[in-house]
Structure 1
Amino acid sequence: MRIVIAGGHGRIALRLERLLSAGGHEAVGIIRRPEQAEDLRTAGAEPVVLDLESASVEEVTEVLRGADAAVFAAGAGPGSGAARKETVDRDAAVLFADAAERAGVRRFLVVSSMGADAAHAGDEVFDAYLRAKGAADDAVRSRAGLEWTVLRPGMLTDDAGKGLVRLGASTGRGPIPRDDVAAVLAELVETPATAGLTLELVTGPTPVMVAVKDVAGN
């Protein structure tokens, strides 16, 4: 499979690219800065330099053309203000979904956040982040042309992944290593039976492959 990942230099995305490459897939990572390209090559991914905050839908469509799946894993990052939560976490996700539809890429995964809600109240930057993620999720879920799955991890950590998770419509709050988020995404990409699901993810007792099969009804 050819899988295009928005936010290709992110900490989850780099882990996902390594897993996809090791599994024999062709991973393509969209990055903003050329100096990030070597990190993607080291991870086994093909880098494409394109700024999703300024790119046209036609430009993004060309990158996605011929892909089997798309993963939106971009984010403005913890040091950014509320405005960039809207331009990256919301608007870039909508742009990526629009381009995927135009390119005929049906399988579409979103890395969202637990608690994402377009109507979330509050004036802090994190409140703006949850609103932006929620609005992006709503926009993706309205696309009839996409076989979408929205993944909402709990508190992200850089602990070594154990491959044991709790995955479902409602898991309760908790931490989850980025390693395990990437492992779940790699399984979800190849599990189209999870299309139409919004899933929460935290550390738990179930091996990743079994957890994904369980939510898929397999």
Structure 2
Amino acid sequence: MRVAIVGGHGQIARHLLPLLLARGDTVVPLVRRQEHADELALAGATPAILDLESADVDGFAAALAGADAVVFAAGAGPDGDVARKRTVDLEGSTKSVDGARRAGVQRFVQVSAIGVDEPVGPDAGEVWAAYVTAKRDADRYLRASGLDWTIVRPGRLTDDPGTARVALAEKVEPGDVPRADVALVLAAVLAEPSTVGRQVELVGGHLRVDEAIAAL
């Protein structure tokens, strides 16, 4: 497949890139900076420059043209900038969805976050509330898009070495998951038609990724 990754220089994307390349996929990471594009090109990718905050839907459609699938793995990160939760986590996603539709790309896999459909407690900070709202609304938009979507909602992300063992279901107990294992799941669901139309939560567990997907 030719797979476009929105947020192509992010930590999950950099774990996903070698997995896709190893099975023969062409990978198009969408990145904002030329130095990031140069770095990923050296790793074997075919990067494209796109600032997801300033680009419009036509810009997204042009960047996604020719892809067989899109992975939305962008995020504004843990900073305190409330506005970027909307411009990156929400609008970056919705423009990716609209760009995919305009470019004729049907398959769309989105990285979300566990528990974002739950009400935000009164003691939650402004930044966390903005993040939860952005992720929730982005998922809602994708589900209504008509695309062949899969939403993966990881627990707390860590930089621990991957274990290739996960818990994956519509609802799981909250927990941690290495970014490397999130990438394994993303690579697997891209190639598994049975995951279309599924929204799943993901944490560390005891099943191999293929076993966890088969059990859905």
Using structure 2 for the length normalisation, give the TM-score. Answer: 0.95
SS of corresponding position for 1:201 = strand
> What are structure 2's unaligned runs of at least 5 residues?
none
How do 1:8-47 and structure 2 match up within 5 A? Answer: 8-47=8-47
Take 1:10 and 1:63, find their aligned partners in 2: how far apart are those partners? 17
Aligned ranges 1:45-84 → 2 under 5 Å:
45-84=45-84
Question: How many residue pairs get matched?
Answer: 214
**Residues 29 and 48, structure 2, Cα contact 8 Å, conserved in 1:** yes
SS at match of 1:212: helix
* Number of the residue aligned with 1:194: 195
Q: Give SS of 1:54's match.
A: coil
CA distance in 1, matches of 2:200, 2:170: 5
Whole-Å Cα distance in 2 between the matches of residues 167 and 24 of structure 1?
26
Report the Cα offset of residue 141 of structure 1.
0.5
1:85-124 to 2 correspondence within 5 Å?
85-117=85-117, 120=120, 122-124=124-126
In the alignment, residue 57 of structure 2 is paired with which amino acid?
V
Measured in 1, the distance between the counterparts of 2:32 and 2:126 equals 26
Contact 1:64 1:99 in 2 (8 A): yes
- In structure 1, runs of 5+ residues without a counterpart are none
1:181 aligns with 2:182: yes
Q: C-alpha distance in 1, partners of 2:131/2:160?
A: 24
Identity of aligned residues (%): 48
2:64 & 2:100 partners in 1: Cα distance? 6
Which 4+ residue blocks in structure 1 deviate beyond 4 angstroms?
A: none
- Using the TM superposition, give the Cα deviation of residue 43 of structure 1 relative to its aligned residue in structure 2, in angstroms: 3.4
State which drifts further: 109-118 or 148-157: 109-118
Contact 1:53 1:87 in 2 (8 A): yes
Deviations 1:12-69 (A, max 9, x none): 0011011101111001000111111233124321111110111121111111111110
- Alpha-carbon distance, 1:192 to partner: 1.8
1:105 is matched by which residue type in structure 2?
V
Contact between 1:117 and 1:135, CA under 8 Å: does it hold in 2?
no
- Please give the root-mean-square deviation of Cα atoms over the aligned residues, in Å: 1.3
Question: How far is the alpha carbon of 1:211 from its aligned partner?
Answer: 1.1
AA matched with 1:15: H
The 8 Å contact of residues 50 and 63 in structure 2, kept in 1 or not, is answered as: no
